[in-house]
Structure formats: C-alpha cells, structure tokens
Amino acid sequence: MTRCQVNIPGKTKAVGVVADNSGMKNTIAQSATAPAAEPLPDGRRRENRIRVNIPARIIYQGLLHEVSADAVCTDITEAGIGFQTSAGLYVGEVVEVEFRKQIAAPFRFQVRLLYKIWNRYGAYFIAPGCSSNKS
C-alpha cells in the first residue's frame, strides 16, 4: 500500500476517491499559497486562553462581493481568537472579525484561519495589509 491509497478490505482506493465518496470537503483555501502564508506566532499554544461568549460578525469575500455572517467568539489570546459560525470558511483564508457595541463604533481586525473543526474556527491575528489576497 502506498501513501496515496487507502486499504479497504478487498479493495484499494485512492485517497481522493474515498474523500469524494464520503462527502469530505476540502477546507484549505485555494489562494493560501506558501508565500502568502505567514509563520505562526511563537508560542501560540503557550498563552492562556480567555474563555468568552461574545457576539461577533465575520466579514469575508464571497464570489462577487463582501459577505458577512454572525459568529460567537469563544476564546481569545494575545496571538489569536477562537469562534463559531455557520459561514463556510476555508483554512488559510484571511477574514475580518468585527465586534459591535451599541455605544461605540465597531471594532474590526484581520485574522488568518488556522484550523476548522465543524463550525469552530481558530485564527491568529495579522497586521492589516499583510495579505496580498483578502479572500
């Protein structure tokens, strides 16, 4: 058995065929190329996470225009943020997270998506304008 095949009793199939037949979705952004990706912040898991439950808005580029979706921020650190949303985002994609207060202007910042588990996402903060592709 090679690295690109899955051994199913009685059959050997290519991994792509198994993934396609089981309905798995490629969650890696097509535009997330090596030059566009930034190194992960040092010690991203060493920082203490602050558990929160804050409503937020995720703003990302759709096919034709900017799209936004409701989200809930679940934890935050100095380096990144965790949130839940029903938006179909891709790992490696750069999105904006916006917090709104009734008495203040919305606060918006950019993050690059680091992982996706169902509707839960983890992302790390990036400086505005660091990405050549805002997708």
pLDDT of residue 127: 84
For residue 125, how far is the Cα from the chain centroid?
11
For the chain, percent of residues with pLDDT exceeding 70: 60
Q: What is the pLDDT of residues 48-97, one digit of tens each?
A: 889 999 999 999 998 899 999 999 999 999 999 999 999 999 999 999 99
Sketch the domain layout of the chain as residue ranges: 1-25, 50-125
Q: Which residue in the block uniquely carries the two structure tokens 């198994």?
A: 18
Q: Which of 98, 95, 100 lies closest to 122 in space, CA to CA?
A: 95
Quote the Cα angle for 123-96-93, to 5°. Answer: 55
CATH architecture under which domain 50-125 falls: Beta Barrel (2.40)
Please count the CA atoms within 13 angstroms of the CA of 6 that sit on its side-chain side. 11
